[in-house]
Amino acid sequence: MTGDDYSLLGLFLSAFLSSTVLPGTSEIVFIVLATQGNLPAWNLLAIATAGNTLGGMSSWALGWIISWWYPLTELVKPAQRLAVERVRPWGSPVLLLSWVPFIGDLLCIAAGWLRITWVGAIVFIALGKFCRYAILLILLPPDVA
C-alpha cells in the first residue's frame, strides 16, 4: 500500500467512526487531505461519503436491534416516546440531517427503531453526508481543492 492508500483508509475510518455514537473528526481529516492536493477531490468526497454513510447505517442497525428488545409500545418515559414519534411523520427524508453532530446519530438510531427501510435510510443518509462534504470542498479556496 502507498501513502495515498493509507490516507484514504484513514479518511474512511475517520468518517465511519465520526458517524457512529463514537466521537470523531472526519471533517478535519477531509480538509487536511484536500488541502494537500495529493488526491483528487472527487476521490476524497466518495471515500468520506461512503465511510460516513456506513457509520450512519451502523447506528440505524443499532436502532433496529434495540427495537427487538424495547418496542415502541414498551417505552415508559414520555420523553422517549416523544423523541421517536417526532421522527415518524418525516420518515426517511429526516435522515438528510444525519450529518448534524449529536442529533444525526439519534436520528439514525430512531429511524432504525421505527423500522424505516434500509434502502430509504441509506439513500437519505448518503445524500446528506455527500452534501456536507461537498460544501466543505466548495468552501476551500479554489487553488486548493
The yes-or-no verdict on residue 53 having pLDDT over 90 is yes
- Number of Cβ within a 10 Å radius of residue 47: 22
Q: What is the pLDDT of residues 27-44, one digit of tens each?
A: 999 999 999 988 999 999
Give the per-residue pLDDT at 87.
Answer: 75
Q: ∠ CA(26), CA(138), CA(52), 5° rounding?
A: 25
Q: What is the pLDDT of residues 94-141, one digit of tens each?
A: 999 999 888 888 899 889 988 999 999 999 999 999 999 999 999 988
Q: Quick check: is 144 in a domain?
A: no
Q: Which domain holds residue 62?
A: 3-139
Give the chain's domain count: 1
Contact between 41 and 133 under an 8 Å Cβ cutoff? The reply is no
Q: Quick check: is 145 in a domain?
A: no
> Global pTM?
0.87
Q: Quick check: is 22 in a domain?
A: yes
Residue 101: strand, helix, or coil: coil
Q: Which residues contact residue 15 at a Cβ distance below 8 angstroms, ignoring those fewer than 6 apart? A: 24, 26, 29, 30, 47, 48, 49, 50, 51, 52, 55
